[in-house]
Amino acid sequence: MKSNKYILLTLAACFATVTSSLAAPAKMPPASDKKDVTYATDMKPIFDASCVKCHSGEKPKARLHMDTLEGVLKGTGKGKIVVVGDSAKSRLVKVTAHLTEDPEGWMPPPHNKAGIKALTPEQIGLIRAWIDQGAK
């Protein structure tokens, strides 16, 4: 009888540990209120630091070039990542804000070999403002 009680207590403790460690669902950061956001001035520094290592060159991952405005707007072999004028529908925002269900699609990938950290809410907000303002 004591062994059953011990098993139940152990299972309860494991369940509590697992459920408490689950992260709350990510929320889309609001767009920045900065005006006149451009690729050259505002996006390129973010993309150079967090994206270009994998998304440039002769064989960019997902066939996505993030080292040029044209490349970002062209998107991947699977389609566009930016819906100009609508950041909330843009895949670029969803993957950088970790709003996709599959962590394999989060960018930059968690625990990547290069040690590139996730974008901050402020950076994602700036990306949103850039897209909402026409992605120029």
> Following DSSP, what letter does each residue of the chain receive, concatenated?
-HHHHHHHHHHHHHHHHHHHHSPPPP-PPPPP--SS--IIIIIHHHHHHHTTTTS-SSS-GGG---SSHHHHHH-BTTB-S--TT-GGG-HHHHHHTT-SS-GGG-SSPTT-TT-PPPPPHHHHHHHHHHHHTT--
Q: What is the pTM of this model?
A: 0.80
- Residue-level pLDDT at 103: 86
* pLDDT exceeds 50 at position 55: yes
* pLDDT exceeds 50 at position 58: yes
Q: Tell me the torsion sign for CA atoms 112, 115, 120, 124.
A: negative
Q: How many domains does the chain have?
A: 1
Within a domain: 11: no
What is the mean pLDDT of the segment spanning 10-36? 64
What is the mean pLDDT of the segment spanning 88-108? 93
**Angle at 52 (CA atoms; ends 57, 77), nearest 5 degrees:** 65
- Residue-level pLDDT at 47: 98
Contact 82, 132 (CB under 8 A): no
* pLDDT exceeds 90 at position 19: no
Within a domain: 21: no
Q: What is the mean pLDDT of the chain?
A: 86
What is the mean pLDDT of the segment spanning 104-116? 90
Report residue 14 CA to chain centroid gap: 30
* pLDDT exceeds 80 at position 10: no
Give the rounded percent of residues in the chain with a pLDDT score beyond 70: 81
What is the mean pLDDT of the segment spanning 115-135? 97
Within a domain: 34: yes
Range of the domain at 55: 26-132
